[in-house]
Amino acid sequence: MSQPETDARLRRAAELEREAARLRAEARRSAEGPGIGPDEAGPDGAGPDGAGPEADPIPHRQAILDSTTRFAILGTDRDGVVTDWNAGAARLFGWPAAAIRGRGIACLFTPEDRAIDRPGIEMRLALEQGRAEDERWHLRADGTRFWASGEMMPLRDGDGRHIGYVKVVSDRTAEHRAGDALQNAEMRLRRAQEAGGIGVFSVGIDDGILHPTPEFCRLYGLPVAATYPASVFERLVIPDDSHLVSTAESRRRGEPPRDVEYRIRRPDTGERRWIARRGEIERDAAGRPLRFSGVARDVTEARSARDALATSEARYRALFEAVDDGFCIIEFFDGPHGPLSDYVHVEANAGYERHTGIPDIVGRTLRDLAPAEAEGWLELYGGVLRTGTAIRFERAFPLAGRHIEVSAARIEPASRRQVSVLFRDISARRRAEDALRASEALARENIERVQLALAAGAIIGTWLWDLPTDRFSVDEAFARSFGLDPAAGREGLSLAQVVETVHPDDRAGLAEAIEAAIARGGAYAHQYRTRRVDGRYYWLEANGRVDHGPDGTPLRFPGVLIDVEERRAGEAERARVTEQLRSLNETLEQRVAERTAKLMRAEEALRQSQKMEAVGQLTGGLAHDFNNMLAGIVGSLELMQTRMLQGRVGDLERYIGAAQGAARRAAALTHRLLAFSRRQTLAPKPTDVNRLVEGMAELVRRTVGPAVSVEVVGAAGLWPTLVDPSQLENALLNLCINARDAMPDGGRIVVETGNRWLDARAARERDLEPGQYVALCVSDNGTGMTPDVAAKAFDPFFTTKPLGEGTGLGLSMIYGFAKQSGGQVRIYSEPGAGTMVCIYLPRHLGAAEGVETVPDLSEAARAKVGETVLVVDDEPTVRMLVTEVLEDLGYAAIEAADGASGLKVLQSDVRIDLLVTDVGLPGGMNGRQMAEAALVSRPGLKVLFITGYAENAALNHGHLAPGMQVLVKPFALEALATRIRGLIEGAA
């Protein structure tokens, strides 16, 4: 309720009080005269003494009662039964006079008041005290309630006898509710101030008296009081903040500080608190300041938090700039290239420029900085933004000419589209690592040399002497040579324990040589005799090196022991022979020559033995497999001959199929050998690996059987690769068969393709050049491989299968094929968890070719009239087969057995439409040389090379001129017919 409304209600209440007082006085005067109750009236309205109407006529009395309608006036007898009822009572209570007369006054009270006999209490109080006042709820005729202010007085006759009661009632409902509302509002305001810690005040401009609320006093630590001089509060303010407080002068000018924060010292606790005070000047109609009012609250905790936050931010900024590593925050946005197709650097520290060499990075976008590399960086950081998975990697940064270590993480929530990136320049570290790798390579080379020397018996042991701790550790060979405990040798011996075996005559010289080496550092070499396990003394030479620390302190003394017994014996022998040389020079030279020849013969015999052992290992595996295949071919041919002689031709197809199958397996074995040696002839084509895998899926499923499920996962947008499709199909089938064999109880094979962008580190791990590759991976959930088995998996003839169930060439062939195709193959396996083999092939930037269909031989295109083909091959069987096919197709065929014969035909005027020739021909001229010589006189000659072992040098490393193609033996006759027709007609 507003202040004007409250003032209006208060004025109305005062007027009602004045009117009620007038009516009460009128009622008392009436009560002191003749009674107004009907029981006291005589006949015809005469009084009890028989007086006439002019003594106290009823109309006059009723006129008095009805003179006001704003108050209810009612009269009762001594028992509280209503006898008189004015118009105001009828309006207020809703009872007409005729209906209420004769009813008890109790019907005007609420049930709660009737329960405590409130009407009776009022009548007793009025009789005893002369009047009874009350303010309470009363009832109307319709049962509704209203708040009434009433006064009851006893009614007496002229003789002072008690004849009844008169009651005056006024309706105060509006004022009561307004008071309740005001009280509730004040209560809510007090509670709000207490809950929010807010104090309210006002200061008079003229008197300087401050009127505070209780909460305002509590904020300042003063006792609660209705008023205070404003100066009491002003004195609590810290002197440094006194300029922020209003003063009597500033209030009079109407210019006090309005919204300020200052510190006070509370008088009750002595502690300092921050107070936030806001105030406004109230003015009169003329604009003169009347009072200064406002609110105040304690903001100590908020101020402390704000100060702590500012300190924290300052500390964060100092740390942010002090971090040596480069740091930046990037924010992705949608650009012309699509959603999230670019990002901008929104923040960076000073270390960013130090480590990347790029100044003023904030505000610059990726595509502005490195447009050529944008897609790669977007793929890396975009993955972090999408998945929330942090990454860490190293990458060359060509823009800055440095090598950078990068870690990136998403800034939550993801809707911010921000990623934090930490940079560190590791160029120096990479150079050190490269130097370390070179050093390690040299160390490995030296170790290999030492191992070879150990194996040859030249080195009989190694040692490492830790000088500060005098811990002398030796290897097992050293310990065995000198009868020491190998375990003690590994844990460490003292030098005294080691030199116990040195010959007494050599100990002094050994000690002197050791002391000199330790003092100067560097290389050490000394010869002396030691006692070995057989009790005899042998000459050896100790070779080592003493390493000093930066301060010159000797730290390490590693070395090796070399058996020089024979050398010393040789030297002694040489001295003896030298002595004899003066008289037997020619004889000695002859003996030396004989010994040298004998040694050379022994070395040659050793090399020959090693060669034969290697050849035996190779041919043993090949002989086993080829014997099986030849048995199938020879047996099938013999049965075919027998059945033909018997006239039983119905079984020929079965024997033919068996012979062809064995021949195909033999051809596959030769292809594996050539692939292993990386000398097979490949026919690479731009290939869609997804399409190739889909075409092989059904064959793979039939091959692995129903117990193994096969799942193909082809990557969308897979790049093409330049590869021989048939060799890749063979590799895929081999991998799936290996996976099946690793799951004897059944399982799951997943064939998966994908694009791989290998940076320098990833490429180095896979022994590849950095760049883009297509990956074909075959994984299973089988038995897996141990690390030692996986390390040997690509070795030729290595197999874990039982004897007779595998050649051990499958993975060797895949390895050779992948390397020859410019790629690599890697095995990832864990025992009991399965194996994954991945073939990595270089991306081809052109489009993939479609699938080549080879028609059946019966459907092959026929020759045109007069077309002639020259067939040159030193193998009669091959010439016969090719000639038969040509003649069946209508070609005229000419045969030649070597290059010279073939060239003679080519240099004649005989019509030759196509030359079909082997590459390797006898007589000093290979197929390529013959074809090049023929091109001089026949520049448009088409050439088809057929070879089972094509050397790259003979075929110009696979680069053939237009009109030349290669067909690898063994080949399908249908493929031969298709190639011949295509070359003659000029097909690519």
Q: Is the per-residue pLDDT at 953 higher than 50? A: no
Q: Are 14 and 138 in contact (CB under 8 A)?
A: no
Of 204-218, 220-234, 577-591, where does mean pLDDT reach its minimum?
577-591
DSSP 162-176: EEEEEEEEEE-HHHH
Beta bridge partners of residue 946, listed in sequence order: 918, 967
Q: Is the per-residue pLDDT at 899 higher than 60? A: yes
952: left (phi over 0), alpha (psi -120 to 50) or beta: alpha
Q: 848-864, pLDDT tens digit by residue? A: 776 555 555 556 677 88
SS (H, E, C) 219-278: HCCCCCCCCEEHHHHHCCECHHHHHHCCCHHHHHCCCCCCEEEEEEECCCCCCEEEEEEE
Per-residue pLDDT, averaged over 464-474, amounts to 85
pLDDT at 230: 87
Beta bridge partners of residue 279, listed in sequence order: 294
Report d(CA 463, CA 542) in Å as an integer: 10
Q: Are 467 and 548 in contact (CB under 8 A)?
A: no
Count of positions (residues) in the chain: 988
Highest mean pLDDT among 369-373, 681-685, 801-805: 369-373
Sign of the dihedral through C-alpha 690, 695, 698, 699: negative
Q: Are 310 and 287 in contact (CB under 8 A)?
A: no
Of 268-272, 626-630, 887-891, where does mean pLDDT reach its minimum?
626-630
pLDDT at 354: 78
pLDDT at 485: 78
Q: Report whether the peptide linkage leading into residue 413 is cis, meaning its omega lies within 30 degrees of zero.
A: yes
Per-residue pLDDT, averaged over 632-652, amounts to 69
Report CA dihedral (573, 579, 584, 589) to the nearest 10 degrees.
50
Chain position carrying tokens 């023929």: 934
Q: Is the per-residue pLDDT at 311 higher than 50? A: yes
Q: Is the per-residue pLDDT at 749 higher than 90? A: yes
pLDDT at 577: 66
Residue 618, helix vs strand vs coil: helix
- Closest C-alpha to 677, from 689, 669, 665: 669
Cβ-based neighbours of 547, under 8 Å, separated by 6 or more? 521, 554, 555, 556, 557, 558
Chain position carrying tokens 């580190």: 761
39: DSSP letter: G
Per-residue pLDDT, averaged over 640-659, amounts to 71
Report d(CA 19, CA 170) in Å as an integer: 10
Per-residue pLDDT, averaged over 428-435, amounts to 79
Per-residue pLDDT, averaged over 582-608, amounts to 68
Residue 892, helix vs strand vs coil: strand
Longest CA pairwise span in the chain (Å): 200
CA distances 715 to 543, 582, 712, 754, Å, are 59, 85, 10, 5
CA distances 158 to 32, 47, 148, 173, 724, Å, are 7, 11, 31, 37, 141
pLDDT at 490: 76
Average pLDDT taken over every residue of the chain: 78
Report d(CA 942, CA 984) in Å as an integer: 7
pLDDT at 51: 39
Tell me which of 517 and 988 has the higher pLDDT.
Answer: 517
Cβ-based neighbours of 945, under 8 Å, separated by 6 or more? 917, 918, 919, 927, 928, 931, 955, 964, 965, 966, 967
Q: Is the per-residue pLDDT at 843 higher than 60? A: yes
SS (H, E, C) 724-776: CHHHHHHHHHHHHHHHHHCCCCCEEEEEEEEEEEECHHHHHHCCCCCEEEEEE
φ/ψ of residue 526, rounded to 5:
-160, 140
Bridging pattern class, strands 942-947 and 964-968: parallel
pLDDT at 345: 93
Per-residue pLDDT, averaged over 675-687, amounts to 62
DSSP 777-819: EEEE-SS---HHHHHHTTSTT---SPTTS--S-HHHHHHHHHH
pLDDT at 773: 94
Of 804-813, 845-854, 898-907, where does mean pLDDT reach its minimum?
804-813
| pLDDT class of 842 with cuts at 50, 70, 90 | very high
Q: Using alpha carbons only, how large is the chain's radius of gyration in Å?
A: 59
Tell me which of 94 and 441 has the higher pLDDT.
Answer: 94
Q: Are 948 and 970 in contact (CB under 8 A)?
A: yes
Q: Which two tokens stand for residue 781?
A: 């959930």
| pLDDT class of 981 with cuts at 50, 70, 90 | confident
Report d(CA 428, CA 433) in Å as an integer: 9
Q: How far is CA 740 from the centre of its chain?
A: 34
For the chain, the straight-line distance linking the first and the last C-alpha, in angstroms and rounded, comes to: 101
pLDDT at 841: 92
Q: 434-465, pLDDT tens digit by residue? A: 777 777 766 666 665 555 555 545 677 788 88
Q: Are 784 and 832 in contact (CB under 8 A)?
A: yes
Q: How far is CA 393 from the centre of its chain?
A: 13
Own/partner pairs, 468-475, CB within 8 angstroms, 24+ separation: 468/553, 468/555, 470/494, 470/495, 472/497, 472/498, 474/498
Residue 344, helix vs strand vs coil: strand
| pLDDT class of 784 with cuts at 50, 70, 90 | confident
Of 273-282, 288-297, 544-553, 594-603, where does mean pLDDT reach its minimum?
594-603
Q: Is the per-residue pLDDT at 276 higher than 70? A: yes
DSSP 539-602: EEEEEEEEEE-TTS-EEEEEEEEEE-HHHHHHHHHHHHHHHHHHHHHHHHHHHHHHHHHHHHHH
Report which secondary-structure segment, H or E, holds 95: none
| pLDDT class of 47 with cuts at 50, 70, 90 | very low
Q: Report whether the peptide linkage leading into residue 289 is cis, meaning its omega lies within 30 degrees of zero.
A: no
Cβ-based neighbours of 680, under 8 Å, separated by 6 or more? 671, 674, 727, 816, 817, 820, 968
- Closest C-alpha to 299, from 240, 219, 231, 224: 219
Predicted model pTM: 0.30
Report d(CA 95, CA 99) in Å as an integer: 6
Per-residue pLDDT, averaged over 765-783, amounts to 91
- Find the DSSP H helices in 87-211: 87-93, 97-100, 111-115, 118-129, 173-196
Report CA dihedral (913, 916, 919, 921) to the nearest 10 degrees.
-100
Per-residue pLDDT, averaged over 255-271, amounts to 89
849: DSSP letter: P
Residue 698, helix vs strand vs coil: helix
Tell me which of 768 and 491 has the higher pLDDT.
Answer: 768
Angle at 713 between CA 707 and CA 716, to 5 degrees: 165
Q: Is the per-residue pLDDT at 120 higher than 50? A: yes
Q: Are 417 and 340 in contact (CB under 8 A)?
A: yes
Residue 922, helix vs strand vs coil: coil
Tell me which of 865 and 442 has the higher pLDDT.
Answer: 865
Tally Cβ neighbours within 10 Å of residue 338: 8
Q: Which two tokens stand for residue 50?
A: 């028989």
